[in-house]
Structures are given as C-alpha cells and as structure tokens.
C-alpha cells in the first residue's frame, strides 16, 4: 500500500505513531463530549 520513497514519511514508524496518537486523542475527545452530553 505504501510507496517506498514516501515524501510525507507516513510509511515510517514515527509517522504511523503520529497518526495513531492523533486518532486516539480524537477518539478520547469524542468519548468525553458524548459522556458529557449523556449526563445531562
């Protein structure tokens, strides 16, 4: 799926970690928002 010489560097481990961290933090924000909506 990834090109060997990826200019964005997303195929590297660091790039994947950054993407994973971003997804996790977005998920946490969504869950916290949903939890606050539910408690009302």
How confident is the model at residue 22, as a pLDDT? 95
- Residue 15: its pLDDT value, please? 81
Query: pLDDT tens digit string along 1-40?
Result: 455 666 666 677 888 888 999 999 999 999 999 999 998 8
Cβ–Cβ under 8 Å, residues 27 and 19: no
- Two tokens, residue 40: 């009302």
pTM, entire model: 0.60
Model pLDDT, residue 32: 97
User: SS3 for 16?
Assistant: helix
């Amino acid at each position: 799926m990834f090109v060997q010489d990826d200019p964005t560097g997303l195929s590297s481990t660091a790039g994947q970690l950054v993407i994973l961290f971003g997804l996790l933090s977005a998920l946490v924000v969504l869950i916290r928002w949903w939890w606050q909506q539910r408690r009302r």
